[in-house]
Amino acid sequence: MMGERVALLIGLIVIPVLLLMAGHRFRDRTPRQRSLFWGALLGHTTGLLLTVTLTMLPPIWWHGGPMWRDFLVHFSMLIGTVAGTALAMARRAQ
Amino acid sequence: MSENAATEARPRTAPRKVETRSSRRMRDVAKVSFHLHLWFGVISTVLLLIIAITGILLNHKRPLGLMPDIDNEPSGAFEEALPLAELVARASAAVPAEAAAAGVDRMDVRPGDGLVKIRFDDRLVTEATVDLNSGTVLHVGERNDVFLEKLHSGEIFGDNWILLSDLAAVLLVIVLISGYWLWLYPKARA
């Protein structure tokens, strides 16, 4: 329970702050850093949309319902960011 | 000769504007406003998105079918209404076993409509609408708006999470004020 709340807070506040910091003086960043930034940003945005959708559809409390919904509500933004960064890294390595 | 020399001696660049204390202060405020607007805007995005969407849904909860809307005429005088315990027993028999086992959360008596809404304390927030006089169960369904209200306030995550909703509201106010400042004094930041 505590872990999922922490993951949600990281997705809600910590990741946007880190992305803002990474986006500061964006023109001075190397192509690799820019690519990782875009990967993380797109991943987080996808996770964000998933979180917002799953919190309200269906409009019933997720706790006690399907496990996957409970999990995705809390972890989507975190997983999205990590997956987006990893994808960008893999694409860069090719 | 002396006139030409005087012209050449004059600086060719435009005279520098003297920065007064008030213009410097305006520029500082604009800089702070810009950063507040940017950072707080990004940080509060998800929270405000959820609060805004749940707010719109709650405003239209009846047409969207998020709460039942039962039309009923009183079938007798309010003084002749069945006892509350009897009404609860009838409602408990009509709802799923899980809801009945969770117990009654609250009862909303509507003498004008001749009905009582009995809400159960289960995960789905089941509600039974019962006629006050005849005890007929008029409707059984979920109260989705209760869940959305809790999500809107942040209460669904726990009692202390309403602070997150407060934080989003404070951030929104700061974003609005800083945005207004940047709109009024766009050149102050330059």
A16 neighbourhood in chain B, CB within 8 Å? 42-43, 45-46
Distance (Å) from the alpha carbon of B75 to chain A's nearest alpha carbon: 33
Predicted local distance difference test score (pLDDT) of residue A44: 95
Residue B1 has pLDDT above 50, yes or no: no
**Which of the four pLDDT bands, split at 50, 70 and 90, describes residue B10?**
low
The reply to whether residue B39 touches residue A20, judged by beta carbons under 8 angstroms, is yes
Spell out the domain ranges in chain B: 23-67+145-190, 68-143
User: Does the pLDDT value for residue B144 go beyond 90?
Assistant: no
Which long-range CB contacts under 8 A does A58-65 form with residues at least 24 apart? Answer: A58/B144, A59/B57, A59/B66, A59/B144, A59/B145, A59/B147, A59/B148, A60/B123, A60/B124, A60/B125, A60/B142, A60/B144, A60/B147, A61/B123, A61/B124, A61/B125, A61/B147, A61/B150, A61/B156, A63/B123, A64/B123, A65/B123
Cβ separation B151–A55 shorter than 8 A: yes
Short-list A92, A86, A93, A94, CA closest to A43:
A86
- Using alpha carbons only, give the angle B66, B72, B73 rounded to the nearest 5 degrees: 160
B167 near A CB under 8 A: no
Nearest to B144 by CA among B68, B69, B80: B68
Q: Which chain B residue shows the shortest CA-CA distance from A13?
A: B43
- Report domain extents, chain A: 2-93
Minimum-distance CB partner of A61 among B38, B49, B156: B156
pLDDT tens string for chain A (94 positions)?
678 889 988 998 899 999 988 888 888 888 888 999 999 999 999 999 999 999 888 888 887 778 899 899 999 999 999 999 999 999 888 7
Whole-number Å distance between alpha carbons of B37 and B98: 48
State whether B53 and A64 contact (CB < 8 Å): no
Chain B closest-CA separation from residue A17 CA (Å): 7
Gap from A34 CA to chain B (nearest CA, Å): 19
Q: Is B26 on the interface with A (CB under 8 A)?
A: no
Tokens of B82: 């069945």
Q: How many H-runs (helices) and E-runs (strands) does chain A carry?
A: 4, 0
CA separation for the pair B40, B48 (Å, rounded): 11
Tokens of B71: 């039309």
Q: Are B159 and A64 in contact (CB under 8 A)?
A: no
List the single residue in B43, B50, B151 with the smallest CB-CB distance to A13: B43
Calpha distance A60→A57 (Å, rounded): 8
